[in-house]
């Protein structure tokens, strides 16, 4: 899977987890992330992309990119600064 890793090096691997756990795992790690930084979520739950977009919209965060490799989706999210 191509794509830059988050500048903080943070990647949340939520493969094998079903809704709502991928977003919960992301949210747990995102709380400690400084404003302006990004993080990647890896998930294979088909609902993960929609869930992350809704979560970001509710918090003012940005989905910067979405890429797929097989069943795995990599969602890059940036915290508002």
3-17 residue pLDDT tens = 444 345 799 999 999
**pLDDT-above-70 percentage for the chain:** 90
Q: What was the pLDDT predicted at 8?
A: 55
Q: Which residue has the higher pLDDT, 2 or 23?
A: 23
What pLDDT is recorded for position 1? 40
In terms of Cβ atoms closer than 10 Å to its own Cβ (0-12, 13-18, 19+), residue 56 is buried
With tokens 């508002």, the residue in question is: 80
Cα–Cα nearest to 11, from 72, 55, 53 = 72
Active site residue 19: yes
The rounded distance, in Å, linking the Cα atoms of 22 and 38 is: 16
- The single residue of 8, 15, 17, 19 carrying the catalytic annotation is 19
pTM of the predicted structure, to 2 decimals: 0.87
User: Checking DSSP bridges between strand 38-43 and strand 11-13, what pairing results, if any?
Assistant: parallel
């Amino acid at each position: 899977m191509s794509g830059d890793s988050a500048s903080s090096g943070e990647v949340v691997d939520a493969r094998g987890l079903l809704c709502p756990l991928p977003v919960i795992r992301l949210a747990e790690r995102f709380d400690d992330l400084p404003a302006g930084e990004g993080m990647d979520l890896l998930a294979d739950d088909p609902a993960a992309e929609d869930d992350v977009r809704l979560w970001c919209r509710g918090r003012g965060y940005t989905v910067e990119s979405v890429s797929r490799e097989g069943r795995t989706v990599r969602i890059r999210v940036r915290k508002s600064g």
